[in-house]
Every structure is written in C-alpha cells, then in structure tokens.
Copies of this chain bind each other. A is one copy, B any other.
C-alpha cells in the first residue's frame, strides 16, 4: 500500500515535470514540438505497461506469500496442526506423517481430527481442497 502511494506520487511529480518541460521548450523553439509529444507518448505508454505489470504481478505472486499467516490464525490452527495439514496435503498417510514428525500415529490422528473441525470438513480430501482454496499451503 505504502509502495503504491509512493509510486503514484513519483508518477505525478514526473508528470508535472514533463508538462513544465514541454512549456519551456515551446517558448524556446517551436519546431521540436513533435519530439516532445512523441516523448510524452512513449513515457506514458511505458507508465501504462509498468502499472499493469505491477498490478498483475502483485495479484499473482502475493497470494502464495502473504495470505498464509493471517488465515491460519483466523482458523485457530496451531503450529503443529498446520504442519500436519501440510504433510497431509502432500499425500502422506497418517503413519507416514507420524514418522516424518517423530510422533505416534495417535498424535497425528488427534491433530488431523482437530484440523477437520477447524476447517469444517469431514475427510482429508476435503481438507486439502479447502486448504488450497484458502491459499494456506506453501507450494503451487
């Protein structure tokens, strides 16, 4: 947000500077007006390109980085429950997750059940679905 405001500020200043420049040039030498117009056209063309690229890139990159933490807290998922959810989404069985996290299968079952309750789902396949919808998962 702050970045956007800063960029727009810079843009506005650049815009004003360009207008001033065009006026001065107009007074001094009348023949080069086409170049100035061309320059302005090119500058704004690239401004348009740049702004759109910024927008599209923030729309595509941010969901995998930013959205994570907030929603996890909102759902009340604890650290461990989230870890289990991640392994679960990778297609591992309870037993495999237990080995990976160095705990018993019972523990994983407990965590998994809690995850289901907090995500409001009944099966692990649905949990994966929901987690992907919420952009909670690291990969992708």
* Interface, chain A (partner B; CB < 8 A): 15, 18-19, 22-23, 26, 33-34, 36-38, 40-53, 56, 60, 88-93, 121, 123-126, 128-129
Q: Counting chain B CB atoms within 10 Å of each CB, which of A15, A38, A52, A121 scores highest? A: A52
Measured in the bound complex, the distance between the Cα atoms of B123 and A53 in whole Å is: 40
Measured in the bound complex, the distance between the Cα atoms of B50 and A40 in whole Å is: 18
The secondary structure that dominates the A interface is: helix
Closest B residue to A124 using CB positions: B125
CB distance from A6 to the nearest CB of B (A): 19
Residues of chain B with a CB closer than 8 A to A92's CB: 125
Assess whether B15 is in contact with A88, with CB atoms less than 8 Å apart: no
Measured in the bound complex, the distance between the Cα atoms of B19 and A36 in whole Å is: 11
Measured in the bound complex, the distance between the Cα atoms of B90 and A52 in whole Å is: 34
Q: Counting chain B CB atoms within 10 Å of each CB, which of A34, A40, A50 scores highest? A: A40
Of B48, B60, B91, B124, the contact of A48 (CB 8 Å cutoff):
B48
CB distance from A18 to the nearest CB of B (A): 8
Closest B residue to A127 using CB positions: B91
- Given known contacts A91-B123, A124-B125, A126-B91, A19 and B45 CB-to-CB distance under 8 angstroms: no
Closest B residue to A93 using CB positions: B123
